Amino acid sequence: MKGNYFAMSKNKAVFLDRDGTINREVNYLSSINDFKFLPRTIDALKLLSSTGYKIIIITNQSGIARGYFDKKKLIGIHKKMCDDLVAKGVRIDGIYYCPHHPDENCGCRKPGIDMLKRAEKDFCLNLQQSYMIGDTTTDIKTGMNAGCKTILVRTGYAGEDGRYTVKPDHTASDLFEAVKIIVRENETKENIVKV
């Protein structure tokens, strides 16, 4: 029918930092043997998988530029991580990483937002309705730069990296509590719409 157009609805995402948020923080994780999920991470991601949010990991990996490990090793770590999560009923929609050294001043290294902008395009996202969760002020600054809501988790660096003076929208003890905040806020919005 002429004039019958449907606007493409945009998706929402939860962007997750990796080290210190999903898994135990070890400087320059280079071996799958050193990869350990933080407590309640799998429960958190299972709960998040039951929502309509895309689950996207956003991680700085300058260990590649520093020569500590190569892209093949990083991809192997991510494959094992995803295989373990899928086996537990978890959905991961995307992983974006920055391989550059901080001195390269690239746009993809957090708090730059090129990784989020790529995900925005790949998944047709509304960044303003999305969340960024991480354990550092860099993660919070990244979310703010992209226009996302932000949640600081008190695992990993627990926001004590001292890089930026930022105020997250929420603070949570861990990823599980952060996801519960998102679910609760989403339910509140749905109830407002129903009324």
Active-site residues, by number, are: 17, 19
Token pair in block for residue 89: 């009923």
Inter-residue contact 139 to 163 (CB < 8 Å): no
Cβ neighbors of 86 (< 8 A, separation 6 or more) are: 92
Token pair in block for residue 15: 């962007």
Instruction: Determine the Cα–Cα distance for residues 173 and 129; give it in Å rounded to an integer.
Output: 22
Instruction: Determine the Cα–Cα distance for residues 183 and 101; give it in Å rounded to an integer.
Output: 36
- The CA radius of gyration of the chain, in Å to the nearest whole number, is 17
Inter-residue contact 56 to 132 (CB < 8 Å): no
Inter-residue contact 107 to 97 (CB < 8 Å): no
